[in-house]
Structure 1
Amino acid sequence: MSQTWTTRAETGADIPAVRRIHLAAFDTPLEADLVDALRTDPAWLDGLSVVAADPAGRAVGHALLTRCHVDEVPALCLAPVAVLPAYQRTGAGTAAVRAVLDAARARGEHCVVVLGDPAYYPRFGFGRARAHGIRITLDVPDEALMVLALDGSRSLPRGTVRYAAPFGI
């Protein structure tokens, strides 16, 4: 059931739908609560919270980039990403992720890290962060921490990822 999705930056009217998406996609409210907390944090960057909408305009998927740092170098963190269960594996999540990465590129951002499924994120160009000297303070499988350079003219920073306070990392 693949289709073409409309993507757009989240608006105030989308906030309840984004919360519903995360509550439906995950077993606990942690991701939904994280998005709500990030909206009030300095790490929030307008335009880098993107929804994928169905033909009726209803938000069914969401991808979020917020500010993080690799040591002292500004970077972005992709998390969370969610799709309503009925729309999973339809391309809605892919559309939201591609759109938010394109928005970051257009803003002149350089580096995105993600802690996630190593079978999913490489399709967007993410690769193992450790190969670039990037690590986190959590004990996670090496392949789960990935990085993407949005601008190939600069080298990726090296060091430890520092997430925004709402992540609790």
Structure 2
Amino acid sequence: MIVRRERPADHAAVHALHAAAFRPPGARPDADVVEARLTDELREDAGFLPHLSLVATDGDAVVGHVIATRGWLEPLGVPALGLGPLGVLPAAQGRGVGTVLVHALVAVAEAADERLVALLGAPGYYRRFGFVAADTVGVAAPDPAWGAHFQARWLGDRRAEGTFRYAEPFARL
């Protein structure tokens, strides 16, 4: 498996990957899948950061994708990152693809001198990457109902407090 930046030639494969990974059981194959549409919209947004859109490949096949886009902490406008979606083809799940992608994304973010990565996801999965309930480190969720599923990880010592805001396409969900 190789992890690299997503390229324009990967867009269709990444869309199909997220559609397959997140399609509800029993849904039609052509059903709209939020995560696939969201990924497409994030690429067109001002918050898109090409160096933080990564694919995992197995031979010529794209088997996983993760993206982080520009977010911020309000009210001061402190730059931060919103991780997601993270998707892996169903046939490749359970082989560590998602783990490798999250580690790679966090490493790239840290190398780019980012301060914070936040996400909405399963605490049991993301805890192993150093994510904790965001409210325990001074970061409030955009929606308080998310509770412990809204998580954050500080990168380095430059910390701030505030309410996290995702890139604009998330607001349209």
Is 1:66 aligned with 2:89? no
Q: How far apart are the structure 2 equivalents of 1:146 and 1:137? A: 11
1:57 CA displacement: 3.0
Q: How far apart are the structure 1 equivalents of 2:121 and 2:73? A: 17
1:130 CA displacement: 0.5
Q: What code does the residue aligned with 1:10 have? A: E
Identify which of 93, 106, 111 aligns with 1:106: 111
Identify which of 20, 23, 26 aligns with 2:19: 23
Name the residue aligned to 1:38: 42
| Structure 1: stretches of 5+ with no match in the other structure | none
Q: What code does the residue aligned with 1:106 have? A: A
Is 1:85 aligned with 2:90? yes
1:139 CA displacement: 4.0
More helix by share: 2
Task: Kindly report structure 1 stretches of 4+ aligned residues shifted beyond 6 Å.
Answer: none
TM-score for the superposition, normalised by structure 1: 0.91
Is 1:50 aligned with 2:54? yes
Is 1:129 aligned with 2:145? no
Of all paired residues, the percent bearing the same amino acid is: 42
Name the residue aligned to 2:153: 148
Q: Alignment partner of 1:82: what SS? A: strand
Identify which of 145, 165, 169 aligns with 2:168: 165
1:6 CA displacement: 1.1
Q: How far apart are the structure 2 equivalents of 1:141 and 1:30? A: 18
Q: What code does the residue aligned with 2:131 have? A: F
1:119 CA displacement: 0.8
